Structure 1
Amino acid sequence: MLVFKTKKELTEHVSALPKTNRLALVPTMGALHKGHVSLVEQAIAENETVVVSIFVNPTQFNNKEDLEKYPQTLQADLDLLSATSENIIIFAPSAEEVYDKNVKAKTYDFEGLDQVMEGAFREDHFNGVGTIVEALLLLVKPDRAYFGEKDFQQLQIIRKLVEQQQIPVEIIGCPIVREPSGLAMSSRNERLSPELRQKASFIYSTLLAAKEKFGTKSAGYVVDWVKKEFDQHEDLELEYIEITDVNTLRPITIKNENLKYRAFIAVYAGGVRLIDNIAL
């Protein structure tokens, strides 16, 4: 397994690969878990060469405390990836290396995709995401890039970014990987106490119930029902629940049988912010 810390080392190696090799990129912020491994495994199955980036991107954190608390476990991440495959290329740069000592996000127009849900609660978050993803795509020049559907809004924004910037890459969305309780796997889960981690499974069970109700009830009814469920749960604080069109990410009022919908949720559990979503 090769580990590169500089852009120069990485590009020199990648540019020397056979042109017939299909090249994949799996961007991560480290603190890897089985969800990340599933992305890497799919990338390995579908491509000859896989680059995994491990970089805690400072420009996508609107909360400095959240950035400081984000786990950085590079050696454990390398051990996990090594156990997955010895043929992975790792890119683990510093912020100064990535941003050429100017750690600042670009500004994008994502046509409203970034103004709802996560964007409404995390100012400039998606400008930071767009900045680092664009930089990695232009650096690695992969044929495919893999992202988890747990961050479905991010996935749609990255698709818009690639379209706008005309970057020749196929963006692959991969299914959410869950703990046995149903809780969506996340690096943030490690900050939960065992008791809270189990209680947080209520998020997914509520989404499953909401999906069933959406078959016969209006979007407004389902949203109100979810809010009432969380009002009765003393350990979990609901930040938002939205039912949106999957393409525009705008909340809906009337269902159209020709469109696809998804429910999105953000919840605080003991001060730890958790997100999830489900196709309806």
Structure 2
Amino acid sequence: MTASLVTFTQTAELRKEVSQLRRQGLTLALVPTMGNLHAGHLRLVEEARRHADKVLTTIFVNPLQFGPHEDFDNYPRTLEEDSEKLASAGCDYLFNPSVTEVYPEGQENQTRVQVPQVSEGLCGQKRPGHFDGVATVVSKLFNFVQPDVACFGQKDYQQLAVIQKMTRDLNFPIRIIGVPTQRATDGLALSSRNAYLTEAERRKAAGLYATLKSIGEKLAAGNTHFHELTHLARARLAELGFSPEYVEIRSLDLSPARIDAREWVLLAAARLGKARLIDNLVVRKGE
């Protein structure tokens, strides 16, 4: 039997329910999403259930993290299907606020949260202001929901690092849990934006992760010529039909990679048709 899903659109209603949970001594896990849910999102819900008595998922397409020429208006919105998936996954609550509920004084007058260092470079360079929008909305969601734990996918490695630093720096009493990337059988990281791929592009798309794995094998084997490796990766992606935005090797905390380290993270973003795909791979020397 499918569990019932309680849906809130107003912050006041949500807070009443959270207060009731607290009086009962129950813990709450948060899964923030922008909807158009896939198996990766449902894996976050599954993981959240391991860490709390109740799970709340948010669906909010956040305009503050989209640039002026990005896909906010066209971003897939599938609330009915998403609600069914969440109910089947055993999620207890859904918070689906309007833009005016989240930003009652408008976006221009909204106080913004900026997370230094980890927001810089990579997607932060390619999408100016993006992580300010992410950090701002997540901090608001944390205050709306007041969860004990929150689950984020590791597919967006930089975003996870931003949220972890923001949580530490602003002293949110919330445990952040990074959940491994969920992949299709050919290795493509699951993403709502995969829906933008044509059939032909979808067949090529797994080449992003395959390229990272190929470079990762060389790195693990002791090749620490970082510039050479990333140049090779970009060239390979171009051969496969991608328009690479960046391929970088960083330390796990996103600081510059060190030759004498024993582990690194490979990060890449590339466009394929209308889709902007990101992926990453943690590499350990000798593995």
Partner of 1:272: 275
Residue number among 235, 247, 262 corresponding to 1:241 in the alignment:
247
Amino-acid identity (%): 37
> 1:46 aligned to 2:65?
no
Partner of 1:117: 122
- Please tell me whether the aligned partners of residues 181 and 198 of structure 1 are also in contact (alpha carbons under 8 angstroms): no
Structure 1: any 5+ residue segments left out of the alignment? none
Deviation at 1:83, TM superposition (A): 1.3
Partner of 2:232: 225
- Please tell me whether the aligned partners of residues 106 and 128 of structure 1 are also in contact (alpha carbons under 8 angstroms): no
Superimposed CA distance per residue, residues 110-167 of structure 1 (whole angstroms, 9 cap, x where no aligned partner): 2311111000000100110011000010111111000000011000111111111111
Partner of 1:57: 62
- Please tell me whether the aligned partners of residues 11 and 144 of structure 2 are also in contact (alpha carbons under 8 angstroms): yes
> 1:213 aligned to 2:188?
no
Residue number among 4, 13, 17 corresponding to 2:17 in the alignment:
13
> 1:25 aligned to 2:40?
no
Residue number among 135, 139, 147 corresponding to 1:142 in the alignment:
147
Question: Residues of 2 paired with 1:148 and 1:226: CA distance?
Answer: 24
Partner of 1:204: 209
Question: Residues of 2 paired with 1:106 and 1:241: CA distance?
Answer: 32
Superimposed CA distance per residue, residues 150-188 of structure 1 (whole angstroms, 9 cap, x where no aligned partner): 011000111111111111100000000001111100000
Superimposed CA distance per residue, residues 73-97 of structure 1 (whole angstroms, 9 cap, x where no aligned partner): 1111001111111x51000010000
Deviation at 1:19, TM superposition (A): 4.6
Structure 2 residue identity aligned to 1:263: L
Question: Secondary structure, in 3 states, of the residue corresponding to 1:240?
Answer: strand
C-alpha RMSD of matched pairs (Å): 1.4
Partner of 1:191: 196
- Of 176-185 and 16-25, more deviation after overlay is shown by 16-25
Q: Give runs of aligned pairs for residues 60-79 of structure 1, distance below 5 A.
A: 60-79=65-84
- Please tell me whether the aligned partners of residues 268 and 278 of structure 2 are also in contact (alpha carbons under 8 angstroms): yes
Deviation at 1:199, TM superposition (A): 0.5
- Please tell me whether the aligned partners of residues 8 and 94 of structure 2 are also in contact (alpha carbons under 8 angstroms): yes
Question: Residues of 1 paired with 2:115 and 2:87: CA distance?
Answer: 36
Partner of 1:263: 266
Question: Secondary structure, in 3 states, of the residue corresponding to 2:101?
Answer: helix
